Structure 1
Amino acid sequence: MVRAADRARNPARASVWLEDKAARVSSRKAGPDQPDGLDRDRIIATAVRLLDAEGLSKLSMRRIATELNVTAMSLYWYVDTKDDILELTVDAVFGELPLTDPDDGQDWRVHLRRLAVDYRTVLVRHPWVSTIVNEYLNIGPHSIAFAEAVQKIIRTTGLPPRARSGATAAVFQFAYGFGTMEGHFNQRCAASGMTPDEYYSDAMDAFTDDPKLVGQIDEVKDVIAAHAGKTVAEVWEGDFTFALDLMIAGIEAMVSRYGTES
């Protein structure tokens, strides 16, 4: 059994997927603290729902147990620590990505665009994921499937092997950063009781009313004018699409420059 202290001492080897927790659970016999109908899938689905609704700071074993109407001790039939649950929730969220076969005859640009869009969508839907995704090895089945899909698509671009990791970073770290900012912005709007459009309008009023910030607004007033009449969601969408077009154009340019050299 891996404890939180063990994870802290050796994080590079700490993963629920390396501990074979599923096999150990299936070998146990039911006991008084193992309610009928409770399983790891239910625990993780509940944790994801609570994280979406309440955020990371409020998640605890006791909170999950209360939501499931079981004792907190009953959860330990399926997980050793809250870290186990968080690692499993990240993989469950990656399972929401609708992966397609890059060998289906469609152009690599179609596949790359779709996967980047879907990755951003998942991060916006679950803003807590971007906060913790890098704390774990992410070697669950859904995370591995996503990584494999990315590599298959990048391989079909025609880039040489030495350039593929950079292309992967450019597209998916961009999508990660964009989705993180958008998701956290939406979360802040919800916490303030405002829609994104209301929050933006209120923030712009605050900027324009502060004489110290007038110069800052003047520097981008042409950009603000270009977005006039658009909703915040439309601006997010337009900026993401344009930026992703830049990434794809960059890959095309690098393929032209380097060809398929090894």
Structure 2
Amino acid sequence: MPRSRPPAVWFTDEPDRKPRLSRERIVRAAVALLDAEGVEGLSMRRLASRLDSGTMSLYEYVSSREDVVDLAVDAAVAEIELDGGDEDRPWREALARHMTRGRRVMRRHPWLPALMATRPLLGPHALARSEWVYALLHRAGLDGRRLTTAVGALTYYVQGYAGAENLWRTRQRDPAAEGELRRQAQEYLDHREERYPTLARHAGLGDDDFDASFRLGLETVLDGIEVHIRASSRQGGSGATSSAP
């Protein structure tokens, strides 16, 4: 019979012992290793070497590499600051600040966006941030499918933008070379304007301001969410609050 996977790390307690290692030390080292070598570079052997420990010693604290990955993701997510004062801000402003912080953390840890999109985010830090976003939008007037869809739109926009930005920056490290590549791409379209007139005139391939593009894209997503908040209010949903602009 196939062996079943051990319970997820979130369903087990850390062993009650005080040796040289700890889950906290293991997770800190795992985050550093992921930052340096990416997901493919994370192995229990390399992690043990970074900790100057035996590989088998790690298994006293975690059941598998998968546990280490989940713990590292939650530790990185914890860097997305939760500002209690944001709850008193208009919902759009509070969400914009939070999502901008999220992008900043995902830029700091390039491996994070893909893992956040593919792992069960059940760690305490991830759940606290999910609760904050859900609660904010619920108070603004969303519930049910409108609420979950709005959260998904925001989440996937930030993760997708940060992931694409990280990948681009790993390929384009020289600003001069990037500028030349953008110029050549725009010139390629210009020479084919009859076939691709809208792209040639409006694609903006020379625009390398990632920050401005992120803000404008985020505003576009928030515009859509605001439409749903107003619709929910008109239909007698949970009721939009005064925090909505």
Q: TM-score range by the shorter chain?
A: 0.7 to 0.9
**Aligned counterparts, 1:151-162, within 5 A:** 151-162=134-145
Q: Match for 1:261 among 220, 225, 237?
A: 237
Provide the C-alpha distance between the structure 2 equivalents of 1:16 and 1:160, rounded to a whole number of angstroms.
31
Percent of counterpart pairs with the same letter? 29
Partner of 1:185: 168
Q: Closer, same or farther in 2 for the Cα pair 1:153/1:85, shift >3 Å?
A: same
> Which among 9, 17, 26 is matched to residue 16 of structure 1?
9
Question: Is the 1:126–1:183 Cα contact (8 Å) retained in structure 2?
Answer: no
Indicate how the Cα distance of structure 1 residues 212 and 257 shifts in structure 2: closer, same or farther if over 3 A, else same. closer
Q: Is residue 157 of structure 2 the alignment partner of residue 174 of structure 1? A: yes
**8 Å contact 2:106–2:112 — kept in the other structure?**
yes
Distance verdict in 2 for CA 1:257–1:136, change over 3 Å: closer
- Which residue does the alignment assign to 1:54? 37
Does the CA contact (< 8 Å) of 1:51 and 1:59 recur in 2?
yes
Kindly report which structure 2 residues correspond to 1:86-165, keeping only aligned pairs within 5 A, or say none. 86-101=69-84, 104-165=87-148
Alignment correspondent of 1:215: 192
Letter in 1 for 2:4: D
Question: What is the RMSD computed on CA atoms of the aligned residues?
Answer: 2.9
Q: How far did residue 42 of structure 1 move?
A: 1.1
2:178 is matched with which residue? 200
AA aligned opposite 1:201: G
Contact 1:52–1:126 (8 Å) recurs in 2 = yes
Aligned to 1:10: none
Q: Give how far 1:155 is off.
A: 1.2
> Which of 4, 11, 19 is the aligned partner of 1:6?
4
Contact 2:117 2:159 in 1 (8 A): no
Shift of 1:14: 4.4
Return 5+ residue gaps in structure 2 as ranges. 239-245
**Cα deviation, residue 183, structure 1:** 1.6
User: What's the CA shift string for 1:16-70, capped at 9, x where partnerless?
Assistant: 101x141xx11x5x7xxx5x3x211111111111111111112111111111111
Q: Which residue of 1 aligns with 2:241?
A: none
- Offset of 1:199 from its aligned partner? 4.6
Distance 1:188 1:15, change over 3 A: farther
SS in 2 for 1:6: coil
State the AA in 2 paired with 1:68: L
- Shift in Å at residue 158 of structure 1? 2.1
Give how far 1:214 is off. 4.6
Does the 8 Å contact 2:189/2:199 carry over to 1?
no
- Structure 1 stretches of 4+ moved >6 Å: none
How far, CA to CA, are the matches of 2:22 and 2:62 in structure 1? 10
* Deviation by residue 1:180-222 (Cα, 9 ceiling, x = unmatched): 1112222333xxxx33x2452353366478x799538875344
For this pair of structures, how many residues does the alignment match? 233
The residue number in structure 2 matching 1:251 is 225
User: Do 2:102 and 2:158's aligned partners in 1 also have CA atoms closer than 8 Å?
Assistant: yes
Cα offset, 1:249, TM superposition: 1.9
Q: Secondary structure at the match of 2:216?
A: helix
- TM-superposed CA distance for 1:133, in Å, is 2.6
TM-score by length of 2: 0.82
Could you tell me which residue of structure 1 aligns to residue 211 of structure 2?
Answer: 237
- Secondary structure (helix, strand or coil) at the match of 2:141 reads coil
Which whole-Å CA distance do the structure 2 matches of 1:246 and 1:87 have between them? 31
- Change in 2 beyond 3 A, CA 1:103/1:93: closer
8 A contact 1:44–1:89 mirrored in 2: yes
